[in-house]
Structure 1
Amino acid sequence: MSLESTKFEKSQLRADALEDMRLIKPSEKLFYEKKLTEMSLSFLGSSQTIAGYYPINNELNILPLLQLLSSIGYQIALPCITEKKILDFRIWNMKKSLVKNRYKIYEPVDGILSIPEIVLVPGLLFDKSLHRLGYGGGFYDRTIQHFRQKDNTKFIGICYPAQIIPKLPRVEHDQKLDFLVNLDEI
């Protein structure tokens, strides 16, 4: 498959996934949000800092999970987009306000820079080979590649079960995750 046809296929998948996410029922959202906070946290190991995300476009709401993790002693960080178009992670005290960046994504402004041991990664679609399809900016791909060159950070995809498909089209720069949380298998 050519690069152009792969780009086109990804674009079509993004549009379809955004529409599918828009149609997720509120009861289904609540069901998976609750399931997320009830799952075993053993996959976190001895991590001290967990980076999450502030959900947009009907992404799985992980804020209750982040609140739980904060309450039991984990430091919580959120991504901030840098000039180099990779993500830095800043500690977020969940009581402090966030600001919208130029992409309309909330991020902390005054949190301390951190290198999290685990990053919970959003996306539009994921496949069983641990690849993800995001919004097309490449921020997580560049960030994963950057962190793998020097840190032992683990990147874990987190999504609704319907967002997991058998195989995604991919190109050379697409980065693989370390793990994918499938809430139907918990």
Structure 2
Amino acid sequence: MTLDEQKAAARKAAFERRRVAHAGAYAASGYLSEVLAGYRGVPLAGYMPMRTEINPLPAMAEAAAHGPVGVPVIMGAGQALRFSLWEPDGEMKDGPFGAQIPVVEAWMEPEILIVPLVAFDRQGGRLGYGGGFYDRTLEGLRAKGPVLAIGFAYGAQETETLPLEPTDQPLDMIVTESGVLQLSGR
């Protein structure tokens, strides 16, 4: 099986685990709020949840009371993400791939990224949707200085191993609805 086929199979299995976890979910962002409380005022970017993604919005709203919070804007295929300032009650519109983005674009650069994912492992590996947007973004941000990449997911999205490539950027931390997971590194 090729690496692309391995990734496709891993995504399919992880999407099903996430769907089941999402169906039984309730207030899942408590641990994420606790982590972010230690970084009050540090520019961060979250994401607007789609489909069965775990919802970071309550934690993002708390963080927005203390400092700038952005959400990703897809600029085009093969490009890094940019981040537009977000406010909890700010006006939003549909962006590329159906993700909500602020109507008013006000660009910011985060030092903390809350990263959505399809699957993760305890080494900080992340399987995304396959576009490479977060990998390119993290690579570019890390070239400029320290960036904390927090994977936010349901615990059911964990897997033993992932089919990863050298260009896949590792996560620094994983937060689930059940707690903060210790990573063993790659």
| TM bracket, shorter-chain basis | 0.7 to 0.9
Residue 150 of structure 1 and its aligned partner are, at CA, apart by 1.3
Task: Find out whether 1:65 has 2:62 as its counterpart.
Answer: no
Q: Does 2:71 correspond to 1:78?
A: yes
Aligned pairs (5 A) from 1:159-170: 159-170=153-164
CA change 1:142–1:25 in 2 (3 A) is closer
CA distance in 2, matches of 1:31, 1:96: 22
C-alpha distance in 1, partners of 2:166/2:106?
33
Kept in 2: contact 1:141–1:175 (CA 8 A): yes
Change (3 A) 1:178 1:97: same
Please give the alpha-carbon distance, in whole angstroms, between the structure 1 residues aligned to 2:84 and 2:30.
Answer: 26
Aligned 8 A contact 1:21 1:57 in 2: no
Query: What residue ranges of structure 2 are gaps of 5+ in the alignment?
Result: 181-186
CA distance change for structure 1 residues 36 and 148 in 2, over 3 Å: closer, same or farther? Answer: closer
Rounded Cα–Cα distance in structure 2 between residues aligned with 1:97 and 1:62: 18
CA offsets per residue over residues 150-184 of structure 1, 9 Å max, x none?
Answer: 13222111111111222211112111112222443
Kindly tell me the number of residue pairs found equivalent between the two proteins. Answer: 179
Structure 2 matches for 1:80-95, cutoff 5 A? 80-83=73-76, 85-95=79-89
In 2, the alpha carbon distance for the partners of 1:91 and 1:107 equals: 9
Q: What CA deviation, in whole Å up to 9, does each residue of 1:6-54 have, x standing for no partner?
A: 110110111122222222354x3114245544x3545x43542111000
TM-score computed with the length of structure 2 as normaliser: 0.86
Q: Percent identity?
A: 31
Residue in 2 that maps onto 1:181: 175
CA RMSD of superposed structures (Å): 2.0
2:15 corresponds to which residue? Answer: 18
| Residue in 1 that maps onto 2:106 | 112
State the alpha-carbon separation in 2 of the partners of residues 133 and 157 from structure 1: 10
Cα contact 2:31–2:179 (8 A) shared by 1 = no
Q: 8 Å contact 1:48–1:117 — kept in the other structure?
A: yes
Q: Distance in 1 between matches of 2:145 and 2:105?
A: 20
Deviation by residue 1:37-77 (Cα, 9 ceiling, x = unmatched):
4x3545x4354211100011211111111112223x12211
- Assess, with a 3 A threshold, how the Cα gap between structure 1 residues 36 and 117 changes in structure 2: closer, same or farther: closer
Extract unaligned runs of 5+ from structure 1.
none
